[in-house]
Amino acid sequence: MESELVKAIHNRTARIVVIGLGYVGLPVACMFAKAGFQVVGIRRNSEKIAQINRGICPIEGKEPGLPELLAEVIREGRLKATTDYTECRQAQIALVAVETPVDKATRKPGYEALQAALQELGQNLQPGTLVIIESTIAPRTMETVVKPVLEQASGLKVNEDFYLANCPERVMPGKLLANIEHCSRVVGGMSPETAQAAVELYRCIVKADLDPTDCLTAELVKTVENTYRDVQIAFANEVALLCENVGADVWAVRQLVNKSPQRDMHLPGPGVGGHCIPKDPWLLVHGAQGNFEAKLIPTARAINDSMPLHIVELVEEALRQAGKEIQEARIAVLGYAYKENTDDTRNSPAIPLIRHLEELGAEVTVHDPYVRGYDGDPKKMLTGRDCVVVMAAHDQYRELDLENLKAQLRLPVLVDGRNVFGMKQAHEAGFIYKGVGNV
Ligand code: SAJ
C-alpha cells in the first residue's frame, strides 16, 4: 500500500474525493486542489453544488482567501462538486467531513450523516483506497462505527484491502484556510503505515506539525482539547459567581491570578457557544464505556449552560434597582453572535437569553453588526430602552460613548456579559451596572 499510494501522493496523481463540502470539507478540498491534486467534492445539497461549480463560495461570513481560491481551482478544473458517489470508484483517497451534531436532549452524537456517507462510500470503495475521517467523533467511533460500516458496505477488509485513518479537523470560522495551513494536526491510523501515508498526504497542505498516532488517540486528542477549554471556562464562570457573592471584581482577581506562573484563568462570560466547545465534551463522555461516569465534564457543561440564565437574573436585579419590573421593561441586547467579531450564531448564549427575557414578558430588541437582520443602526434600537445587555464584545461596542448612550435610554441600566465597560466607567457615567463577576 505504502509505496504505490505514497508515490501517487508525492507525484499528485492520487485522485481525492471529499465527502461533505461545509466549513471543513470545502476549504480542505480547495487546498488539495491547489496543491496539484484532482479533487471531487460530494455533498447532498445540489443547489450548493451548482454554486460551487460556478466558483461561488457558499460559506457565509468573511473567510479570507477562500472565495478566490475556490474560483481559481474551479476555473482550472482541479475541483468539481457532485452528488454522485460513484466518483469514489476513481479515487485513491477519500476524506469524510460531514457534520456530527450532538442531540441537545440526549447528549448523544447524531451519526446519521456520517453513517449515510460511509454507506455510500463503502458501496463504491475500491481496493487500495485510503479513507480519512476529518469529522469530530467520539472516542472509539473509528473502531465501533466507521470500520464496521465501511467493511460491511464494501466487502473489503481494513488494513488488507483498504486503509483507514482519522485526522480531526481544527477549523475556526473566520480563519478556515489559515488554520489548515498553520494548525498542527493529529493523524490517527488503523496501522502505523496508514498513519504515515496520511501524514505524507497532509504534508502537501499543512506547514505545521503532523503527529502520527493510532485512531483512538486522535479521537481523544480532538475531544479532550475542546473539553479542556470548556472546563477552564466553567472554572472562570464559577469564580465570577463567587466574586459576585462576596462583592469582589473577578476581572481584577483574574488579572492577578494569571500573574502567577502556570496559571491561565480563562474569561468569565454569559455562556459558551460555537460549533465545537458545547458539543465536544459530550462526544468525549459518550466515548467512555461500561459504568464509567464523568463528573467534572458534565458539571462544567451545566455551569456554562446556566450563564445565560444568570444574565437574566442580573437584568432583573438591575431593573429592580431602577424601579422597573422586567415584564414592563424594554431591553436592548448587543451581540447575537456567539463571540466577538464573528457572524456565527451557532449555539449562541444570546439565543436562550432572549428567549428567557421574552418569557418573562420583556420587550427585547437585538443588535449585531455582523449578523444579517440585526445589523441596523444601534443608536435607533437603543433609544427609549430601559436596559442594555452586552452579550458579545464586538469591537464596535467598545467605542460606544456611555454619556450619549445614557441620554438615549429611558433608564440608565447596563448589564455587561463581557466586561466591555467595567463598573467604574459605567458608574462615572451614571449607570446602574451589573457585570458578570462584578456587581
Ligand atoms: N469563551 C468564554 N471564555 C473564554 C473563551 C471562550 O466565555 O475564555 C466563550 C466564547 O465567547 C464562545 C465560546 O466560549 O462563546 C467558544 O469560544 P472559543 O474561543 O473557544 O471559540 P471557538 O468555538 O471558535 O473555538 C475554536 C476551537 N478551535 C477548533 O476547534 C479548531 C477551539 O479549540 C479554540 O481554542 C478556539 O477556537 C480558539 O482558541 O480560538
Which of 281 and 2 is assigned the larger pLDDT? 281
- Which one of 277, 416, 419, 436 would you pick to mutate in the ligand 1 pocket, going by the greatest count of ligand atoms within 8 A of its CB? 277
Judge if the beta carbon of residue 347 lies within 6 A of ligand 1.
no
The finding on whether 339 has its CB within 6 A of some atom of ligand 1 is yes
Q: Which three cell numbers stand for residue 126?
A: 475500491
Q: Please write the tens of the pLDDT for every residue from 353-402.
A: 999 999 999 999 999 999 999 998 888 899 999 999 999 999 999 999 99
Tell me, in angstroms, the distance from the centre of ligand 1 to residue 41's CA.
28
Q: Identify the CA nearest to 251 among candidates 387, 432, 430, 420.
A: 420
Q: pLDDT at position 62, please?
A: 79
Ligand 1: does its nearest atom lie under 6 Å from the Cβ of 153?
no
Q: Calculate how far, in angstroms, residue 255's C-alpha sits from the geometric centre of ligand 1.
A: 19
| Domain-embedded: residue 272 | no
Average pLDDT for 2-30:
94
- Rg of the Cα atoms in the chain: 25
276 assigned to active site: yes
Q: Are residues 310 and 425 in the same domain?
A: yes
Q: Convert the pLDDT of each residue in 141-199 to its tens digit.
A: 999 999 999 999 999 999 999 999 999 999 887 899 999 999 999 999 999 999 999 99
Ligand 1 proximity of 170 Cβ (cutoff 6 Å) = yes
Inside any domain, residue 7: yes
End position of a domain, from candidates 185, 208, 231:
208
pLDDT at residue number 2:
53
Q: Which of 222, 279, 324, 434 is flagged as catalytic?
A: 222
55 and 203 belong to one structural domain: yes
pTM greater than the 0.85 cutoff? yes
Q: 400 CB less than 6 Å from ligand 1? A: no
Q: Give yes or no for residue 15 CB within 6 A of ligand 1.
A: no
Using CA positions, which residue lies closest to atom 1 of ligand 1? 272
Neighbour-count burial for 394-417, b at 16+ CB within 10 Å, e otherwise: bebbeebebeebbebbebbbbbbb
Query: Is 247 inside a domain boundary?
Result: no
Helices (H), 64-144: 66-75, 112-123, 141
Going across the sheet that includes 330-334, the strands are 363-367, 330-334, 387-390, 413-416, 432-435
Q: What's the gap between Cα 216 and its chain centre?
A: 22
Cα(176) to centroid of ligand 1, in Å? 14
Q: Are residues 319 and 424 in the same domain?
A: yes
Q: Within this chain, do residues 194 and 306 fall inside the same structural domain, yes or no?
A: no
Q: Are residues 302 and 199 in the same domain?
A: no
Residue 41 belongs to what domain range? 2-208
Backbone angles phi, psi at 385, to 5 degrees: -80, 155
What angle (nearest 5°) sits at the alpha carbon of residue 375, between those of residues 373 and 379? 130
Per the listing, cell 466553567 goes with 234
**Which domain-ending residue is among 189, 208, 227?**
208
| Residues above pLDDT 90, as percent of the chain | 92
Give the pLDDT score at 378.
85
Q: Whose CA is nearest to atom 33 of ligand 1?
A: 226
Q: Examine residue 241 and state whether it is found in any structural domain, yes or no.
A: no
Rounded to whole angstroms, how far apart are CA atoms 439 and 426? 11
Same domain, 165 and 45: yes
Ligand 1 atom showing the smallest separation from residue 276 Cα: 23
The pick from 28, 170, 172 for probing ligand 1's pocket by mutation, whose C-beta has the most ligand atoms within 8 angstroms, reads: 172
83: phi > 0 → left, psi -120 to 50 → alpha, else beta; which?
A: alpha
Secondary structure element (H or E) that encloses residue 266, with its range: none
**Residue where one domain finishes, among candidates 208, 240, 267:** 208
Q: How far is the CA of 375 from the centre of ligand 1 (A)?
A: 23
Cα–ligand 1 centroid distance for 378 (angstroms): 26
At 295-341, the pLDDT tens digits run 999 999 999 999 999 999 999 999 999 999 999 999 999 999 999 99
pLDDT band at 281 (very low <50, low <70, confident <90, very high): very high
* Contacts of 401 by beta carbon, 8 Å cutoff, 6+ apart: none
Ligand 1 pocket residue status of 118, Cβ below 6 Å: no
Nearest CA to ligand 1 atom 32: 226
Long-range CB pairs of 107-116, under 8 A, 24+ apart, other chains included = 107/282, 107/285, 107/286, 108/282, 108/286, 109/137, 109/138, 109/141, 109/282, 109/283, 109/286, 111/137, 111/141, 111/145, 113/20, 114/145, 114/146, 115/145, 115/149
Name the closest-CA residue to atom 13, ligand 1. 272
- Percentage above 70 pLDDT, the chain: 100
Read off the pLDDT of each residue in 257-277 and give the average, rounded to a whole number. Answer: 97
Looking at the fold, whether 27 and 171 belong to one and the same domain comes out as yes
Where b means 16+ CB within 10 Å and e means fewer, 267-285 reads bbbbbbbbbbbbbbbbbbb
Does residue 1 surpass a pLDDT of 80? Answer: no
Q: Write down the catalytic residue from 30, 88, 215, 276.
A: 276
CB 173 within 8 A of CB 61: yes
pLDDT tens digits, one per residue of 80-127: 999 999 999 999 999 999 999 999 999 999 999 999 999 999 999 999
Please check whether residue 244 lies inside any domain of the structure. no
Count of alpha carbons within 13 angstroms of residue 417, beta-carbon side: 32
Q: What is the mean pLDDT of residues 265-293?
A: 96
Annotation says 222 is catalytic: yes
Please give the single-letter amino acid code of residue 380: K
pLDDT higher than threshold 80 for residue 137: yes
Arithmetic mean of pLDDT, 245-265: 98
DSSP for 325-375, please give it: -GGG-EEEEE--SSSTT----TT-THHHHHHHHHHTT-EEEEE-TTSTTS-
User: Does residue 107 sit within a domain?
Assistant: yes
Q: Which ligand 1 atom is at minimum distance from the Cα of 307? A: 7
Range scoring the smallest mean pLDDT among 1-5, 136-140, 265-269: 1-5
Report which ligand 1 atom has the smallest distance to the Cα of 339: 11
Whole-angstrom Cα distance, residue 439 to residue 431? 12
Please tell me the distance between residue 341's alpha carbon and the centre of ligand 1 in angstroms. Answer: 13
**What pLDDT is attached to residue 376?**
87
Pair type for strands 130-133 and 93-96: parallel
d(CA 17, CA 82): 10
| Residues 170 and 51 placed together within one structural domain of the fold | yes
CATH number, domain with residue 54: 3.40.50.720
Report how many domains make up the chain. 2
Question: 214 lies in a domain?
Answer: no
pLDDT digits 0-9 by tens, 185-241: 999 999 999 999 999 999 999 999 999 999 999 999 999 999 999 999 999 999 999
Ligand 1 centre from 277 Cα, in Å?
A: 7
Residue 265 domain-assigned (yes or no): no
Q: State the distance from the centre of ligand 1 to the C-alpha of 171, rounded, in angstroms.
A: 11
Domain shared by 54 and 165, yes or no: yes
pLDDT bin (cut points 50, 70, 90) of residue 290 is: confident
